[in-house]
Amino acid sequence: MSEFQNIGLIGRTESDSAVLSLKRLMAFLEREDYAIVLEEETATAVPGHSARVSPKEKLGELCDLVIVVGGDGSLLAAARALAKFSVPLLGINRGRLGFLTDITPDKIEQKVGEVLAGKYMAESRFLLDMSVTREGKPIGSGSALNDVVLHSSEIRMVEFDLYIDGQFVYTQRSDGLVISTPTGSTAYALSGGGPIMHPKLDAIVLVPLNPHTLSSRPIVVEGSSEFKIVIGEYNIASPHVTCDGHDQIATEPGDTIRIHKKPHRMTLIHPIEHNFYETCRSKLGWTS
């Protein structure tokens, strides 16, 4: 018997192709007698179903495995919601790049069947927690699997002070700063000139966005590091901070942003033949 019996499904409902793949996946799971739990918004895209329906945040309590049909953004959202439950996630790619959702739509039955039969690889990924305080009072928070990004809301540079583990690093003027996990190193951090980091690394990279000084370069530090960013008192712009491009919070001069590793990790499931470097070759256009 499979270790996965109760299967949660999350689909990208605004994508017709994702909905088609979702229906194909449901038909396969039903034929194989698995119990299906549909995320409540996903359920609206498959009228007439007989599956159990649950809010996204409850899937972690009800399921042994959650399958996400969509792009990397869909899986990022699932990871943020479900990390505290330690339920493993499996992705079927109906987006563009597919660094995290690596089962192709034409191989749903084959690859999902192999995973359910115990033929898979499991990777543990860490997330980041972020909070913003103003005059000592919390004004917002969020979590990220890819990155926390401080960025200007206008065509103006942002000035801020950076501290790592309580030690002052620098005062910087730039378009912002990306604080990225290894998972996010192939996302926004990469476009800013950051390094590609293997997912197994316990490290965090800080990538300045268009810094005022050419000597400002990405910094890689321990994954256990704690970061404090203090927004400069004389900023004209009101910079924003986001988590995986979501949970946008507008900051003001003097606000403090704190970032550290989340205590809960996310387990990402891959087909048995998954190879990180092959994924880089195919997704980033490296020569083979």
Sequential pLDDT tens for the chain (288 residues): 679 999 999 999 998 999 999 999 999 999 999 999 999 999 999 998 999 999 998 999 999 999 999 999 999 999 999 999 989 999 999 877 778 998 999 999 999 999 999 999 999 999 999 999 999 999 999 999 999 999 987 778 899 999 999 999 999 999 999 999 999 999 999 999 999 999 999 999 999 999 988 889 999 999 999 999 999 988 877 899 999 998 899 999 999 999 999 999 999 999 999 999 999 998 888 875
Cβ distance 9 to 36 under 8 Å? Answer: yes
Residues at the annotated binding site?
Answer: 72-73, 146-147, 173, 175, 186-191
Is 163 among the domain residues? Answer: yes
| Sign of CA pseudo-dihedral 268, 274, 276, 278 | negative
Structure tokens at 246: 């979501």
Instruction: Count how many residues are written for the chain.
Output: 288
CATH number, domain with residue 67: 3.40.50.10330
Domain containing residue 76: 6-118
Is 283 among the domain residues? Answer: no
Pair 28, 155 in one domain: no
Task: Measure the CA–CA gap between 73 and 15, rounded to whole angstroms.
Answer: 13
Strands 65-70 and 89-93: parallel
Q: Is 72 a catalytic residue?
A: yes
Structure-token match 């197994």, residue found: 200
The model carries a pTM of 0.93
Pair 157, 258 in one domain: yes
Pair 110, 218 in one domain: no
Among candidate residues 16, 33, 64, 72, the one labeled active-site is 72
**Beta-carbon contacts of residue 172 (< 8 Å; ≥ 6 apart):** 159, 160, 162, 208, 211, 212, 213, 216
Task: Measure the CA–CA gap between 101 and 185, rounded to whole angstroms.
Answer: 16
Listed residues 118, 144, 168: the one ending a domain: 118
Is 26 among the domain residues? Answer: yes
Residues at the annotated binding site for NAD(+)?
Answer: 72-73, 146-147, 173, 175, 186-191
Cβ distance 90 to 67 under 8 Å? Answer: yes
